[in-house]
Structure 1
């Protein structure tokens, strides 16, 4: 709080370094380059989303919008930096399921709180994960996989993108809801997990649909379910988990834009509106759809309600899994 007060005081003295945050701030914004922090390395779907939106915002604002990749600790490093930034709209973060929902339960001492330390602006995307099995596994759908696991407790194995990821915890929710046990094999990312699944080193896996879909269409995997609330246009023939005996199940990764807590309401509203505008541009929608993501672009209040539900949902998954990270 002392740092924020000092920054505001310096801005009042210089008249340029930090503009006043009252009613006139909306018209003055942005006064300088806006930094959009991505709490992961370059090249992934979160980074792509940020860069597409940053390009649109730069056009709209006639100011540079810089994407700054700050990876580390499952998104905690970059998110913590933004939580401590001045609440003037010039520093934002594209948070994800891990950084702003899962990690609150996964890490004993998270250096920020996803709700108390941020202004939720808009949910950007929703990304379907998929349950897949090797074609040699005698399960044509999720119900059959659950029945098979129930008949062979502990004998079936499944791979995930890593401990504490939405991939891992999404399957743990299935196990908890279906009351079955399968041995978890964590990997460092979906690519290596899918490689072992194709080679039958593991029986099943849960990872991003776009990575699994080409292998399924080549006959190397069988897709059993998607983890979204509704079927995805990318593979409409694949039913949801909820359709197959686990009603209410949703465990889909997402991304959303946040600002530091304390942003003036008028500026928060403007940022939310501009972000929604950027996300809903036709070329942005098309690029995201090509990568398997669905644009959400809802309002701040809707996003806050969603975030609270996600924190509770993934907290239950962390508890069921017994996962814990330092």
Structure 2
């Protein structure tokens, strides 16, 4: 009896110690992988949230940019990380839906290899052109491209990224042909469009907006539920008869599969608290984004829904990585 009693006490102590260790999370800095180069919307949103999230958790959250392959390189690294809450990643439509839809050999499963933590924000996208481009509004833009198929090209954050597949969705509905030029992230793609090396880009509003406001890019049409306060004269895709293209990007946090639920819940609660801060909320909304701050389960469903949409685009457009 005494031996069984001692074993029971030891088991209880071990369980209590384990609970205490998990409850103490985090005890060291957290790495947040951003699967794109610095300067794009993913990087902007991550950096707005990282510092206050670190303060809320009691240890710094360090942004680590790992760009390339439309976000697949950084996402694959995040999927391989230990499920201990110390390596997280920023999830985008590119990494969880568009890229997996086009790449059957991608090194991770966007649904099975991650545990969704929270969707931070949703961001409208915009087709914009270099100021030298002849068309400055949607009607003349579409007419010009239809008259000269194959003459013009567009830049994207990479093959399989949202900029690529959302443009292909638009092309599939309009019959317009453009040549795709892929970059290692939205930042480099924007730089070349602003420099006039490529005339067109389909990008997130937050990263494009400063160039639009400074006159270095001209907005043509936005993918958003309604016109944006910062771009009141720019129509939505619904207004030009292409409502299926009105899909916003999302920016959320993922943990590797196997991450304990208590850690996921703590990260979700801490991020929600950060997003309630008026200063953080304003910084995100000033980029043209909308705060989402949903549950892990809701974010998981969003990922599944977007993956289904872009699998259809890939099949219809017969897209490959080549």
Coarse TM-score class (shorter-chain normalised): 0.7 to 0.9
Q: For residue 257 of structure 1, report the CA deviation from its aligned partner.
A: 0.0
**Matches of 1:51 and 1:167, distance apart in 2:** 21
Contact 1:164 1:318 in 2 (8 A): no
- Name the counterpart of 2:190: 190
Check 1:106–1:243 CA distance in 2 against 1; reply closer, same or farther (3 A cut): same
Query: CA offsets, 1:99-132, max 9 Å, x none?
Result: 2222212323111111111111111222332123
Check 1:26–1:131 CA distance in 2 against 1; reply closer, same or farther (3 A cut): same
Query: CA offsets, 1:124-168, max 9 Å, x none?
Result: 222332123567877664355445544x26155242224433223
- Name the counterpart of 1:6: none
- Name the counterpart of 1:107: 103
The count of corresponding residues between Structure 1 and Structure 2 is 303
Check 1:96–1:270 CA distance in 2 against 1; reply closer, same or farther (3 A cut): same
Contact 2:75 2:89 in 1 (8 A): yes
Check 1:281–1:153 CA distance in 2 against 1; reply closer, same or farther (3 A cut): same
Q: For residue 264 of structure 1, report the CA deviation from its aligned partner.
A: 2.8
- Name the counterpart of 1:236: 232
Gap runs ≥5 in structure 2: 1-10
- Name the counterpart of 1:157: 152
**Matches of 1:165 and 1:86, distance apart in 2:** 26
- Name the counterpart of 1:263: 259
**Matches of 1:214 and 1:36, distance apart in 2:** 25
Structure 2 residue 138 is matched with structure 1 residue 142: yes
**Matches of 1:281 and 1:136, distance apart in 2:** 41
Contact 2:149 2:178 in 1 (8 A): yes
Query: CA offsets, 1:244-291, max 9 Å, x none?
Result: 111232343322100111223333222211112223322222222344
**TM-score, length basis structure 1:** 0.78
Contact 2:93 2:303 in 1 (8 A): no
Counterparts in 2 of 1:218-257, with a 5 A limit? 222-257=218-253
**TM-score, length basis structure 2:** 0.79
Check 1:62–1:132 CA distance in 2 against 1; reply closer, same or farther (3 A cut): closer
Deviates more, 1:139-148 or 1:167-176: 139-148
**Matches of 2:215 and 2:31, distance apart in 1:** 44
Contact 2:83 2:258 in 1 (8 A): yes
Check 1:319–1:47 CA distance in 2 against 1; reply closer, same or farther (3 A cut): same
